[in-house]
């Protein structure tokens, strides 16, 4: 898929994703070693976006399994279309049960879910298992199975083996430790906050029209906020939002009033706002 | 040694050193790491670092140890820079460092860190020094005293009017901090070059925070640990929630299943599960806060406080040789965790006429004064080393507690091998209630995740 780490960097950038060297190196290896990539890091640092960008540059279809509390096999793997099966049974009144059964457990009545979709067919795919830590532990067992052999057994149909393995990205906010077994299957990548230079480039890419000096000031203030030990440090997503807001407000440079009035865009907790105001000497009105 | 053999030796050395630091690495990962070096080549050291980290590590917490160990096995450049810095050049080096800090040029800062250790870090008979010290380097160079100068330089360059100016000093402080880390890494690398690298990798690299022994953690380490309380509490809360869900899943409710089946012509299609909604459990903590174990107790109290909304009720008692309730102190103490210990010892009555622990007296006083605190829904945790300074352990008091509570667990921060030695009554207490070795945050979170009632 990629010829070198630099190739990863350049092509992701074309897709609007500015990767750090760490990100580019790990994506390159995940492709070369054919291993799933587990991406961990705080909210809003571009974990999901990375998977989308990889799909775009690879010309691959993005298959996304969004995890949540209570997601189960029938949501992740496949399900039988019961309603359609019932209709079929009541339509064919005079056939034997055996005939009906072979028929209703066939391809036509199967509802493939992301994990099955990702390993079927010959087109290139990126499988994004998003927010894996939100799923229950039982689902991890399922993921482990699928990611080990890239095959799924549907008892009534037989075993489906991937003829072409998808590029797999799992993301996690680490609200829960994923099991050691699952981690061992994956290459591990932590995405933290980007360094100032990279973040400036991200801002200027995502907020076209922003003045370079303003982008720099925005990134500096965000850097200062991150050093403050807040309940929720601002992420890249907030930096970009803030820059957008400032541009929309027509602010050419940062000053006390502008920062004070727009702090709510970057900080979500009232105590964080108070702390930041004190630390940045923003005299409250 | 040829290049491949050398690379293999470095890689296995690195893996062994990581294992010695508790990073679990299987053969699969080692093979992947070797493949990664082949794919990436050795030309770009930072790329190699990321590739090895991606293949060998499984969690973020392992990264600091990895970086330090990687620097030892894959040093930036072996040997000293040409031309040792003459000690007389201290002023010149400070000059160049100031410029690098002002420009925020990390590559230059790294180079200067090498020069600094080379010029000022060696001790013993030079020029082939006996050792390299980051402390001595920093003591001579005093980078922190450059702050005002660098600030003024940047101001002269960029002007002092903009909003960014108020961020400037903190930014420079962070850059200086970064430089200090570079010096430390460089000194470690040089020491390793002279002595047995494997030995250094095992000893001189600080363990990950969650494996630090509570009893030997210094002040800084404890402060670092306290900052992990909130994330850890969040993790444990999800784990508890999962256990609670499982416990509540319960059995099939036959009556409701049949009632539901009326709509399907009496065929029971959807089993209805009986939901158990137990009252939230209650928790009581008895904590030895005497000097020897206070770091452990403080940490555990903060953790339980952070988990308080998982429980119907949490009450916390502290003792040395007298016992007093500190639940209220803890609620407010969450805002200032570093001062918590001092406030408990200042505001609660935890000592009588002497200052050493007396488990027997404290347990006795608890069963007398706070009998109402423990009932059939209460799980009790006792935290302490069970070193009772030769006093009577008062086993009947603990036995009484065990009968009244739903469960009693004892968490002991001493290694199991020391239980019962000297004045430790651990084995006697362990005969009455479950006693668990709990030396590190890792052990603590395992135990809490397992033992906390749901
Ligand atoms: N390296 C990057 N290049 C380009 N855009 C980025 C980059 N990093 C973050 N972003 C921006 O940040 C936004 C948030 O990213 P994303 O939704 O992928 O975060 P996330 O890490 O998945 O967060 P969460 O954990 O909340 O799901 C993206 O929409 C994108 O605009
Ligand atoms: Mg996401």
Interface check for A219 against chain B (CB to CB < 8 A): the answer is no
Q: Taking CB atoms and an 8 Å cutoff, what residues of chain A touch B235?
A: 174-177
A255 to chain B, any CB pair closer than 8 A? The answer is yes
Minimum-distance ligand 1 atom for the alpha carbon of A42: 25
What pLDDT, on the 0 to 100 scale, is given for residue B31? 95
Pair B125, B186 in one domain? yes
Looking at per-residue pLDDT, the higher value among B284 and B80 belongs to: B284
CA A128 to centroid of ligand 2, rounded, Å:
10
b (16+ CB within 10 A) / e for B426-446: beebbebbebbbbbbbbbbbe
Q: Indicate yes or no: CB of A188 within 8 angstroms of CB of B59.
A: yes
- A97 min Cα distance to partner chain B (Å): 18
Residue B208 lies in a domain: no
In terms of pLDDT, which residue wins out, B125 or A68? A68
Nearest CA in chain B to A37: B54
Domain presence at residue B223: no
Residues of B in contact with A212 (CB under 8 A): none
Q: Which pLDDT value is given to residue A130?
A: 96
Residue B433 tokens read as 């209630």
* B64, B141: one domain: no
Residues B170 and B98 in one domain: yes
Which one has a higher pLDDT value, B198 or A35?
A35
Nearest to B208 by CA among B17, B64, B69, B70: B64
Q: Which two tokens stand for residue B308?
A: 């308080």
The pLDDT of residue B80: 46
What would the two tokens of residue B336 be? Answer: 């200032």
Using a CB-CB distance cutoff of 8 angstroms, which residues of chain A are in contact with residue B239? 176
pLDDT of residue B435: 94
Q: What is the mean pLDDT of residues B1-30?
A: 87
Would B352 be classed as within a structural domain?
yes
Q: Residues A102-115: pLDDT tens digits?
A: 788 888 899 999 99
Question: What is the structure's pLDDT at B78?
Answer: 47
Question: Same domain for B26 and B111?
Answer: no
Ligand 1 mutation target, pool A236, A238, A268, most atoms within 8 A of CB: A236
Closest chain B residue to the Cα of A180, Cα to Cα: B58
Tell me the nearest-neighbour CA distance from B395 into chain A, angstroms. Answer: 39
Domain match, B15 and B66 both: yes
Same domain, B121 and B244: no
pLDDT of A11-31, one tens digit each? 999 999 999 999 999 999 999
Q: What is the pLDDT of residue A121?
A: 87
Q: Residue B434: beta bridge partners?
A: B409
Q: What's residue B87's pLDDT? A: 55
Residue B142 has pLDDT above 60, yes or no: yes
Of B40, B44, B238, the CB nearest to A176: B238
Average pLDDT of B193-216?
Answer: 68
pLDDT of residue A188: 97
Domain co-membership, B302 together with B434? yes
B302 and B437 share a domain?
A: yes
* Distance of CA A206 from the midpoint of ligand 1 (Å): 11
| Optimal mutation site among B47, B61, B338, interface A, most CBs of chain A within 10 A | B47
Nearest CA to ligand 1 atom 6: A46
Tokens describing residue B75: 């040093």
Is the CB of A187 less than 8 angstroms away from the CB of B171? no
| CB spacing of B35 vs A33 below 8 angstroms | yes
> Using 50, 70 and 90 to split pLDDT, how confident is the model at B195?
low
What's the pLDDT at B100?
95
Among residues of chain B, what percentage have pLDDT more than 70?
A: 82
Interface probe with B: pick from A29, A191, A254, most Cβ of B within 10 Å? A29
Mean pLDDT, range A241-253, rounded to an integer: 91
Q: What residues of B are in the A interface, CB distance below 8 Å? A: 24, 26, 28-29, 32, 35-36, 39-40, 44, 46-47, 50-51, 53-55, 57-60, 63, 104, 162-164, 166-167, 170-171, 174, 227, 231, 234-235, 238-239, 242, 245
- Measured between CA atoms, how close is A178 to chain B, in angstroms? 10
Surface of A (20-39) touching B: CB under 8 A: 21-22, 25-26, 28-30, 32-33, 35
Distance CA B154, CA B105 (A): 13
pLDDT in tens, B71-121: 888 877 644 444 455 655 889 999 999 999 999 998 899 889 988 988 888
How far apart are the CA of B360 and the centre of ligand 2, in A? 54
The arithmetic mean of pLDDT across residues B427-432, rounded, is 92
| Residue to probe by mutation, ligand 1, list A20, A23, A48, most atoms within 8 Å of CB | A48
pLDDT of res. A144: 92
pLDDT in tens, B380-417: 999 999 988 788 899 999 999 999 999 999 999 888 88
Same domain, B108 and B40: no
Q: 3-class DSSP state for residue A129?
A: strand
Average pLDDT over residues B145-164: 88
Q: Higher model confidence: residue B81 or residue B290? A: B290
Residue B128 in this model has a pLDDT that exceeds 60? no
To the nearest whole Å, the CA of B103 is away from the closest chain A CA by 13
Question: From CA B99, how far away is CA B108, in angstroms rounded?
Answer: 9
**Is B256 within the bounds of a domain?**
no
Structural domain including B106 reads 87-197
Ligand number nearest to the C-alpha of A194: 1
How many angstroms separate the CA atoms of A186 and A173, rounded? 16
Q: Mean pLDDT throughout B194-209? A: 65
CATH number for A5-73+114-190: choose from 3.30.1280.10, 3.40.50.300, 3.90.1150.10, 3.40.1010.10: 3.40.50.300
Q: Is residue B438 part of a domain?
A: yes
Residue A285 pLDDT: 46
What single DSSP character describes residue B290?
A: S
Structure tokens at B5: 């053999």
Instruction: Write A157-160 long-range contacts (CB < 8 A, 24+).
Output: A157/A105, A157/A106, A157/A107, A157/A110, A160/A116, A160/A119, A160/A120
B196: pLDDT strictly greater than 80 = no
Tens-digit pLDDT profile for residues B319-355: 988 899 988 888 776 667 777 777 787 778 887 767 7
Smallest CA-to-CA distance from A137 within B232, B242, B241, B236 is with: B242
Total structural domains in chain B? 3
Could you tell me if B333 and B244 lie in one domain? Answer: yes
Judge whether A217 is closer than 8 Å to chain B, CB to CB: yes
Q: How many CA atoms lie within 13 A of A9 on its CB side?
A: 9
Q: Taking CB atoms and an 8 Å limit, are A35 and B47 in contact across chains?
A: no
Separation between Cα atoms, residue A157 and residue B133, nearest integer Å: 68
CATH number of the domain enclosing B246 = 3.40.50.410
Q: What average pLDDT does the segment A170-180 reach?
A: 88
Does B271 reside within a domain?
A: no
Looking at every residue in chain B, the average pLDDT score rounds to 82
- Residue B210 in domain: no
Domain boundaries, chain A: 5-73+114-190, 78-112, 196-279
Where residue B260 falls among pLDDT bands split at 50, 70, 90?
Answer: low
| B172 to chain A: closest CA residue | A224
* Closest CB from B63, B162, B174 relative to A190: B63
Chain B: nearest CA to A103, how far in angstroms?
A: 22
d(CA A217, CA A224): 11
Per-residue model confidence (pLDDT) at position B21? 81
Residue among A1, A23, A25 with most chain B CBs within 10 A, to mutate = A25
Ligand of minimum distance to the alpha carbon of A27? 1
CB B113 within 8 A of CB B179: yes
Same domain, B25 and B146: no
Residue-level pLDDT at A176 = 81
B50 and B162 together in one domain: no
- Is residue A231 predicted with pLDDT exceeding 90? no
Please indicate, yes or no, if residue B212 is contained in any of the structural domains. no
Which helix (DSSP H) or strand (DSSP E) does residue A7 occupy? helix A5-14
Calculate how far, in angstroms, residue B294's C-alpha sits from the geometric centre of ligand 1: 42
8 Å CB contact of A184 and B28 = yes
CB A66 within 8 A of CB A199: no
Ligand 1, CB within 6 Å, residue ranges: A 17-18, 43-49, 171, 173, 202, 206, 236-237, 240
HSE-CB for B417 with a 13 A CA cutoff = 0
Q: Report the pLDDT averaged over residues A207-212.
A: 93
Show the beta-strand stretches assigned E in chain A.
37-40, 61-66, 78-80, 110-112, 125-130, 151-154, 158-161, 167-172, 187-190
CB < 8 Å to A218, chain B: none
């Amino acid at each position: 898929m990629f010829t070198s780490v630099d190739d990863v960097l350049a092509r992701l950038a074309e897709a609007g994703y500015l990767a750090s060297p760490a990100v580019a190196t790990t994506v390159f290896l995940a492709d070369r070693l054919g291993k799933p990539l587990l991406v961990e890091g705080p909210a809003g640092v571009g974990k999901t976006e990375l998977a989308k960008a990889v799909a775009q540059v690879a010309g691959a279809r993005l298959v996304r399994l969004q995890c949540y509390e209570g997601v189960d096999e029938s949501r992740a793997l496949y399900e039988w279309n019961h309603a359609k099966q019932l209709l079929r049974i009541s339509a064919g009144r005079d056939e034997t049960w055996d005939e009906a059964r072979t028929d209703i457990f066939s391809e036509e009545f199967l509802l493939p879910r992301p994990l099955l979709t990702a390993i079927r067919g010959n087109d290139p795919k990126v499988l994004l298992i998003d927010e894996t830590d939100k799923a229950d532990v039982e689902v991890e067992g399922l993921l482990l199975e699928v990611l080990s052999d890239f095959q799924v057994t549907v008892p009534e149909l037989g075993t489906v083996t991937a003829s072409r393995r998808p590029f797999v990205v799992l993301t996690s906010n680490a609200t829960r430790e994923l099991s050691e077994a699952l981690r061992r299957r994956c290459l591990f990548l932590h995405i933290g906050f980007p360094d100032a230079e990279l973040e400036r480039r991200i801002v200027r890419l995502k907020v076209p029209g922003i003045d370079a000096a303003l982008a720099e000031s925005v990134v500096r203030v965000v850097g200062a906020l991150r050093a403050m030990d807040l309940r929720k440090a601002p992420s890249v997503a907030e930096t970009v939002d803030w820059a957008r807001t400032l541009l929309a407000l027509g602010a050419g440079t940062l000053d006390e009033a502008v920062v004070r009035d727009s702090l709510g865009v970057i900080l979500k907790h009232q105590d964080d706002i108070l702390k930041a105001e004190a630390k940045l000497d923003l005299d409250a009105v | 040694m040829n290049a491949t053999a050398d690379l293999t030796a470095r890689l296995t050395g690195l893996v062994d050193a990581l294992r010695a630091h508790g990073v679990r690495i299987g053969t699969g990962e080692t093979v992947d790491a070797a493949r990664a070096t082949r794919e990436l080549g050795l030309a770009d050291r930072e790329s190699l670092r990321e590739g090895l980290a991606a293949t060998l590590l499984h969690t973020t917490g392992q990264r600091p140890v990895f970086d330090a160990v990687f620097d030892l096995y894959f040093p930036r450049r072996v040997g000293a820079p040409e031309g040792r810095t003459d000690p007389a050049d201290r002023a010149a080096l400070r000059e160049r460092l100031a410029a690098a800090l002002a420009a925020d040029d990390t590559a230059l800062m790294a180079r200067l860190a090498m020069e600094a250790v080379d010029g000022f870090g060696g001790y013993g008979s030079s020029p082939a020094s006996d050792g390299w010290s980051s402390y001595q380097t920093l003591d001579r160079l005093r980078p922190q005293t450059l702050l005002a100068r660098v600030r003024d330089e940047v101001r002269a360059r960029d002007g002092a009017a903009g909003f960014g100016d108020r961020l400037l000093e903190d930014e420079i402080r962070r850059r200086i901090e970064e430089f200090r880390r570079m010096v430390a890494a460089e000194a470690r690398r040089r020491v390793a070059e002279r002595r047995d690298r494997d030995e250094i990798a095992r000893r001189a690299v600080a363990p990950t925070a969650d494996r630090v022994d509570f009893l030997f953690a210094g002040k800084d380490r404890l402060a670092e640990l306290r900052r992990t309380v909130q994330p850890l509490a969040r993790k444990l809360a999800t784990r508890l929630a999962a256990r609670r869900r499982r416990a509540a899943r319960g059995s099939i409710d036959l009556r409701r299943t049949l009632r539901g089946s009326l709509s399907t012509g009496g065929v029971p299609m959807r089993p209805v599960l009986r939901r158990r909604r137990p009252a939230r459990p209650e928790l009581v903590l008895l904590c030895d806060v005497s000097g020897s174990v206070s770091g452990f107790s403080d940490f555990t109290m903060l953790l339980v406080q952070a988990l308080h909304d998982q429980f119907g009720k949490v009450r916390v008692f502290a003792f040395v040789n007298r016992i007093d309730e500190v639940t209220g102190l803890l609620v407010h103490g969450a805002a200032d965790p570093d001062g918590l210990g001092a406030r408990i010892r200042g505001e609660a009555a935890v000592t009588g006429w002497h200052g050493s622990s007396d488990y027997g007296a404290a347990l006795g006083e608890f069963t007398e004064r706070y009998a109402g605190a423990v009932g059939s829904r209460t799980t009790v945790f006792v935290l302490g080393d069970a070193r009772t300074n030769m006093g009577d352990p008062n086993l009947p008091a603990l036995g009484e507690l065990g009968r009244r509570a739903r469960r009693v667990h004892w968490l002991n921060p001493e290694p199991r091998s020391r239980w019962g030695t000297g004045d430790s009554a651990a084995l006697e207490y362990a005969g009455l209630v479950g006693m668990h070795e709990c030396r590190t945050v890792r052990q603590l979170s395992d135990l809490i995740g397992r033992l906390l009632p749901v």
